[in-house]
Structure 1
Amino acid sequence: MNSKMLLLAPIAALAAGATVLPVAQADTGWTYEANLAPINGSGASGSLWLTLQGNQATVTQKVSGLASTFMDAPYPHVQHIHGGAMGMCPDTSADSNGDGVVSTTEGAPHYGGIVTTLSVKGDTSPAAGVDVKAAPSGSEYTYKRTISLDAKSVEALKKGTAVVVVHGLDPAKIPAAARAAKSDLVPSLPLAATSPALCGKLNRSQMNEMPDGGVPTGGGSTASGSGDTGAYYAGGGVLLMGAGALLVTRRRFSKQH
């Protein structure tokens, strides 16, 4: 190997390492987003971002227009990530009994069973799915929490079958035929209390971070998420810039020799 090749070899090796490393790291982290659309005539709206690092998910969500009160108290809205089915939200054709409301079980063939409960505290497993004491409440709220996902939840995200469902309808806004019906999940509650109000599929985002003004991250009622994600992507950018500088140096060196 001549002297020129000996000089270029370390530079080329460093440049190759700098370009490969961020790609390998990026494979372990993804951001997903869901546009939460109204279902069952709820009139609500919202959006949710989920940043996944390994099995750690930082969830940031903003919703508004939900039912406000239930039995003279802030209305608890149990919410979940569903998965393992068609990976989509149901339309009115899913209302198999014709009462004018797509219940949770009627929608299940579309979005699947609960894989993660988006609770404000404590348990996030499917077992906490109807724990109203751990649910966010009121007509609007900002939710932020970092949680551990099990293998089934991670698989649903990566396979594109993960769907976010927020439950709890205003009884005054559903058809009369459904107002007296009992919940298909908790018979002691009315059907409106556990039926879907918002639904959105979690799609892999084209952006690494939430855009400014997208989903507010402050004022959450749950534990705040880690700030490592922003540093991680910033670090990747620095490495890519370093690789570019090394390649420019290599070209200049080649022209001079």
Structure 2
Amino acid sequence: MNKSLKAIVPLAVLGAQVLLPAAASASPSNSGATTTYRAHMTPVPLNGQKSASGTLTLKLHGNQATIHEQVSGVAKTFMNAPFPHVQHIHGGAMGTCPTASADANHDGVINTPEAQPNYGPIQTTLSVKGDTSPAAGTNVKIAPSGSSFTYDRTITLDAATLKSIRSGIAVIVVHGLDPATAPKAATTEKSPLVPSLPLAATAPAICGSLKAAQVSHMPKGGAATGSGSTQSTHDAGLLAAGGGLLAAAGGAWYLRRRRTAA
């Protein structure tokens, strides 16, 4: 190998080596990762809330959950006041919403105990303030209310709720049926959870399984908008490879010039 080529080859290797440490250091620790989960809530069968729906996004960072929810078409009023809709993260069961077959006593309404084999007991109460434990599950004073509402809150989740979410068996349930559209039994029977209230007050209205969100498209703005450990490592790797290729290309150009000059 002539002296010019011997000098060029180390330059090509150096071009890659200088940038490789940047690729290794660009990957942050997974301990700080945030995972997004989403639920699309639809009417519980038989319960007469056919126009009701909701969506919920939960961003989980450690044990901190930042929640954004929009609900519409649920019961509007109860005893001349906005209808309180207790809502929860249920878990520890099948992770599904009930079907019509869940109506075990055949009264035409699916109540919460009948639905629990599907979605499990209350694990976290999605209250507007204060307590978020199962103990607050039927506290109508801290429940969102009205026929439509937006819910935004950051809360701390316990181990049981975290396990259900990460295992894919957490379910979001919004309770409270509109007496005008609910089956007759919803207004004539008592709630199995709060006997002083009618069944309509606590029966599940809409329900949706909470699942990890899937990325379905590239982010807008091209590569400049990318972020996260995968993006950073990938870009740094491309730079490293590009640096090596540039160095090699420069060396080849220099060698050709020397040969031409000779």
- Displacement of 1:253 in angstroms is 2.2
Partner of 2:155: 147
Q: 1:158, 1:116 → 2: CA distance?
A: 14
Partner of 1:76: 84
* Amino acid aligned to 2:246: R
Q: Per-residue CA shift, 1:121-147, capped at 9, x if unaligned?
A: 011111111110000000001111111
Residue among 10, 34, 37 paired with 1:29: 34
Structure 2 CA distance for partners of 1:41 and 1:190, relative to 1, 3 Å: same
What is the number of residues matched between the two proteins?
233
Corresponding position: 1:253 with 2:258:
no
Q: Per-residue CA shift, 1:43-101, capped at 9, x if unaligned?
A: 20111100001111110000100000001000000000001100000011000001111
Alignment of 1:99-118 (within 5 A): 99-118=107-126
Residue among 135, 138, 143 paired with 1:127: 135
Larger Rg: 1 or 2?
A: 2
Mapped contact 1:75–1:137 kept (Cα < 8 A): yes
Partner of 1:226: none
Mapped contact 1:100–1:174 kept (Cα < 8 A): no
Partner of 2:182: 174
Greater CA deviation, 238-247 or 28-37?
238-247
RMSD: 2.6
Mapped contact 1:78–1:136 kept (Cα < 8 A): yes
* Amino acid aligned to 2:166: K
Q: 2:48, 2:238 → 1: CA distance?
A: 53
* Amino acid aligned to 1:29: T
Alignment of 1:1-257 (within 5 A): 3-4=10-11, 5=13, 8-18=16-26, 21-22=27-28, 24-25=29-30, 28-39=33-44, 40-43=47-50, 44-207=52-215, 234=227, 236=229, 237=231, 240-257=234-251
Q: 1:78, 1:254 → 2: CA distance?
A: 66
- Displacement of 1:206 in angstroms is 1.1
* TM-score of the aligned structures, taking structure 1 as reference length: 0.82
Task: Describe the SS at the equivalent of 2:180.
Answer: helix
Q: Per-residue CA shift, 1:174-203, capped at 9, x if unaligned?
A: 222342111011111110000000100001
Mapped contact 1:31–1:207 kept (Cα < 8 A): no
Q: 1:247, 1:186 → 2: CA distance?
A: 66
Structure 2 CA distance for partners of 1:27 and 1:96, relative to 1, 3 Å: farther
Q: 1:91, 1:197 → 2: CA distance?
A: 13
Q: 1:251, 1:69 → 2: CA distance?
A: 69
* TM-score of the aligned structures, taking structure 2 as reference length: 0.81
Q: 2:241, 2:55 → 1: CA distance?
A: 41
Task: Describe the SS at the equivalent of 1:172.
Answer: coil
Q: 1:110, 1:79 → 2: CA distance?
A: 16
Q: 2:124, 2:244 → 1: CA distance?
A: 50
- Displacement of 1:8 in angstroms is 3.8
Mapped contact 1:83–1:163 kept (Cα < 8 A): yes
Q: 1:145, 1:196 → 2: CA distance?
A: 22
Q: 1:111, 1:84 → 2: CA distance?
A: 7
